[in-house]
């Protein structure tokens, strides 16, 4: 037990730079202080300035970059689709629209499945967040948000709460109650606060922590109960548009992608950027881990999806076709990782064979851009959300 306690302020002016932002409570020389996350990062570099000049650092960074490229190239002995030549081709898929969920008044921007495999939450430009039962098409809850463009929404692992946010720069958590008459908006809890729009949010393995990504270029880990900023992730040089948590067996990392064309892998405990990939030619709209956790895929405005292997530390596959010229907004893997579903701005969903690299099938039906594509937790269906105000469940 600590014998010294002080008021842990979670938001306010930083003791170092005076900017008002979420604060991290730390001890410097046994004195409790409140620093903003940026000052904490800068502090880690302070003590290392002796004997180094700007020129020597520049030289070192150039030589390190070259060394990185050489190391990565050395291991590039074969292509993924060459390794996969001997396996059977994917048999014809019979995936069709099984449900159309109508009810939103404007573009549906995001959706997430509940772990019970039938419920899902969706958020829209009209400021509404709706919880649906996918089997019966029942709308179980409808929460009005104070802002339009609710760009991110997530279901808690327990199924008892949802988180959402967007242009309000915040991520708010709403506990879901069984009482239909209860006013959900009144029970809202503001958890995360960023200095620009919220682009993505997800609960970690429990209902107690939320990971968020924002247009301010950072990702952050928050404690839901206190609203405290637990860890902050700096490294992107432009808006971060998407993030995904590693599957639970493989540990505490997550991947983020953004408008700086980079996809970064982070260690959640230390806040360290452990790996970085920059091969896309335009903004990365979505990143998703491969089910085994050893790789991840990214979707970009350059009309390609790319697969990066974390152990080989490089891009191993590009999913593209000359006839596909529209950007990909979202993607997800099927349960075994063999199929990759990509939602495109040309209103279609393309299904790719992850190993062989070719397109297996296309899903038509939406009448406007597909904004989000997510496979259900048991892998039986795919849900897609679109700017045509509807969601479709395909199986």
**Interface with other proteins in residues 300-329 (CB under 8 A):** 309, 311-314, 316
Q: How far apart are CA 54 and CA 62, in angstroms?
A: 12
Question: According to the binding rule CB under 8 A, does residue 60 interact with other proteins?
Answer: yes
Q: How far apart are CA 7 and CA 228, in angstroms?
A: 12
Residue by residue, DSSP assigns 324-386 as --SPEEEEEE-TTSSEEEEEETTS-EEEEETTT--EEEEE---SS-EEEEEE-TTSS-EEEEE
Q: How many chain residues interact with other proteins (CB under 8 A)?
A: 72
For residues 322 to 361, the per-residue mask of contacts with other proteins, x marking binding by CB under 8 A and - elsewhere, is ------------xxxxxx--------------xx------
**3-state SS track over 159-202:** CCEEEEECCCCEEEEEECCCCCCCCHHHHCEEEEECCCCEEEEE
Largest CA distance in the chain: 68
Phi and psi, residue 38, nearest 5°: -70, -40
Question: According to the binding rule CB under 8 A, does residue 84 interact with other proteins?
Answer: yes
CB of 328 to other proteins, least distance (A): 19
Question: According to the binding rule CB under 8 A, does residue 373 interact with other proteins?
Answer: no
CB of 381 to other proteins, least distance (A): 5
Of the two residues 187 and 314, which places its CB atom closer to other proteins in the complex?
314
Of the two residues 40 and 184, which places its CB atom closer to other proteins in the complex?
40
Structure tokens, 143: 């929460």
Among the listed residues 110, 156, 101, the one whose alpha carbon sits nearest the alpha carbon of residue 330? 110
CB of 192 to other proteins, least distance (A): 24
CB of 299 to other proteins, least distance (A): 18
Contacts to other proteins from residues 105-134, by CB under 8 A:
117-118, 134
Question: According to the binding rule CB under 8 A, does residue 19 interact with other proteins?
Answer: no
Q: How far apart are CA 351 and CA 359, in angstroms?
A: 6
Tell which one of 41, 116, 126, 133 touches other proteins (CB under 8 A). Answer: 41
For residues 173 to 212, the per-residue mask of contacts with other proteins, x marking binding by CB under 8 A and - elsewhere, is ----------------------------------------
Of the two residues 222 and 290, which places its CB atom closer to other proteins in the complex?
290
Q: How far apart are CA 114 and CA 323, in angstroms?
A: 35
Of the two residues 72 and 321, which places its CB atom closer to other proteins in the complex?
72
Beta-carbon contacts of residue 352 (< 8 Å; ≥ 6 apart) = 305, 319, 339, 340, 342, 358, 359, 360
Of the two residues 30 and 53, which places its CB atom closer to other proteins in the complex?
53
Of the two residues 118 and 141, which places its CB atom closer to other proteins in the complex?
118
Of the two residues 9 and 93, which places its CB atom closer to other proteins in the complex?
93
Q: ∠ at Cα 156 (374, 244), nearest 5°?
A: 45
């Amino acid at each position: 037990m600590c014998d010294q306690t002080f008021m842990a302020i979670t938001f306010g002016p930083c003791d170092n730079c005076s900017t008002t932002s979420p604060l991290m409570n730390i001890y410097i020389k046994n004195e409790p202080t409140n620093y903003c996350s940026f000052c904490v990062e800068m502090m880690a570099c302070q003590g290392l300035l002796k004997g180094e000049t700007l020129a020597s650092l520049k030289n070192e960074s150039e030589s390190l970059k070259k060394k990185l490229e050489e190391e990565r190239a050395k291991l590039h002995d074969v292509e993924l689709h060459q390794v996969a030549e001997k396996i059977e081709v994917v048999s014809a898929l019979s995936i069709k629209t099984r449900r159309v969920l109508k009810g939103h008044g404007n573009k549906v921007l995001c959706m997430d499945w509940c772990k019970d495999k039938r419920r899902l939450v969706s958020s829209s430009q009209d400021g509404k967040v709706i919880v649906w039962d996918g089997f019966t098409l029942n709308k179980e809850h409808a929460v009005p948000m104070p802002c339009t463009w609710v760009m991110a929404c997530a279901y808690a692992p327990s199924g008892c709460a949802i988180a959402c946010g967007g242009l309000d720069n915040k991520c708010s958590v709403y506990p879901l109650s069984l009482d239909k008459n209860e006013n959900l908006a009144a029970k809202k809890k503001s958890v995360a606060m960023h200095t620009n729009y919220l682009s993505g949010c997800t609960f970690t393995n429990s209902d107690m922590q939320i990971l968020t990504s924002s247009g301010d270029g950072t990702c952050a880990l928050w404690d839901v109960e206190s609203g405290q900023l637990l860890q902050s992730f700096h490294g992107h040089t432009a808006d971060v548009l998407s993030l995904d948590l590693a599957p639970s067996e493989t540990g505490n990392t997550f991947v983020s992608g953004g408008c700086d064309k980079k996809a970064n892998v982070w260690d959640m405990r230390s806040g360290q950027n452990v790996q970085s990939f920059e091969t896309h030619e335009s903004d990365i709209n979505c990143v998703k881990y491969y089910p085994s956790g050893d790789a991840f895929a990214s979707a970009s405005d350059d009309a390609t999806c790319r697969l990066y292997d974390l152990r080989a530390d490089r891009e191993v596959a590009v999913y593209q076709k000359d006839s596909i010229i529209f950007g990909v907004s979202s993607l997800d893997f099927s349960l075994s990782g063999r199929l990759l579903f990509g939602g495109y701005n040309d209103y279609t969903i393309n299904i790719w064979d992850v190993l062989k690299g070719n397109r297996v099938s296309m899903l038509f039906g939406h009448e406007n851009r597909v904004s989000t594509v997510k496979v259900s937790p048991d892998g039986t269906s795919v849900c897609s959300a679109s700017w045509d105000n509807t969601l479709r469940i395909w199986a």
